[in-house]
Amino acid sequence: MSADFSDDAVHNMRNDPQTQTLAPRRAPGKVIETRPDTLRGLYPPIEPYESGMLDVGNGHRIYWERCGNPLGKPVVFLHGGPGGGCSPEHRRLFDPARYCITLFDQRGCGRSIPHASLEHNTTWDLVDDIERLRVKFGYEQWQVFGGSWGSTLALAYAQAHVNRASELIVRGIFTVRREELQWYYQTGASWLFPDRWEAFLAPIPLEERGDLMRAYRKRLIHPDEAVRIEAARAWSMWEGSTITLLPDDQLAEAFGDPHYAIAFARIENHYFVHDGFLTPNQLIDGAHRLRDVPGVIVQGRYDMATPAHTAWALHKAWPEADFYWAPDAGHAFSEPTILHWLIEATDRFASAS
């Protein structure tokens, strides 16, 4: 972690999450499971009013953009993956008249360079990058919004820099614990998607299937580009074909685009074989740090990629946050009830000081 950010005592988060003096808890948040009769949708499409590349060292340059109202409430959007990159739809989760929206492509993906790079690419490098962007734009605090892997990164950043998060909105909760990874990439989810699991297994010989993440790693860093692409597409399309409650073949095919898949699969796999560069249960154990941060947790009841067990564990560790179940949804932010509760959350916090 850069010395520029030592005032936030990030080392406490990394090395001893129980050392912070505990203040009295705020009142518990509400827990709601419903599908409203009228569902909110995305705001209209917008374009950035400025964008650029930030040199974050060690050969990495990250793409950033700002959208909406330059004088609006600051928010940073953290995309999924890791390795997924931002899309124009992500800008539309926030009222552009009331928010100044910062989006960026994390190291190695999207428009950031070098593409698909694994060097100097860890959770804590990304936490540093978020803080560099906050300092660059001169914000004392900003809202932190992340889904899936973005929820992991949002929790890591907010726990490390708790005084910099005005609010925290997280969706599809993922904390990179070993049991979460084993569920999706070794056992568990395969029982629900046996046909799609066969496609995921296809690049891996039978004798290597006892540890699929490591078997994939060997192929995703292979010197032969054809081997890398075959593995990347299989890895990426497994996720693209299992993250919605109802099948979405168009989404699955988008995940199979070779340029997208190679960054997505290589970076995800790199993080996952290293347990997210986190200690066991770190983000759940550290959730007590968030007790004074207004928060919202949104979770699809039938999320197969990041099952609800983890979201509930976060709720128990951080009961002050409001918890919204989407009773008719899987994992994707675009599923109607998940999207509704996310828009409701960003609207509610838009005027908060």
Q: What is the maximum span of the chain, computed from C-alpha positions, in angstroms?
A: 58
Euclidean distance between CA atoms 80 and 153, whole angstroms: 9
Q: What are phi and psi of 214, to 5 degrees?
A: -75, -35
Give yes or no: 128 in active site.
Answer: no
**DSSP bridge partners of 61:** 55, 113
CA dihedral 145, 150, 152, 158 (to 10 degrees): -30
Q: What is the DSSP string of 148-190?
A: THHHHHHHHHHHHSGGGEEEEEEES-----HHHHHHHHTSSGG
Which of 117, 303, 315, 340 is the catalytic position?
Answer: 303
- Catalytic, 148? Answer yes
Phi, psi of 133 (to 5 degrees): -65, -40
Distances (CA, A) of 13 to 17, 98, 136: 5, 32, 23
- From the candidates 79, 105, 112, 148, which is the catalytic residue? 148
From the candidates 60, 161, 331, 340, give the one annotated as an active-site residue.
Answer: 331
Question: Tokens 């960026």 — which residue?
Answer: 104
Closest CA to 51 of 64, 61, 68: 64
Q: Is 6 a catalytic residue?
A: no
Which positions are annotated as active-site residues? 148, 303, 331
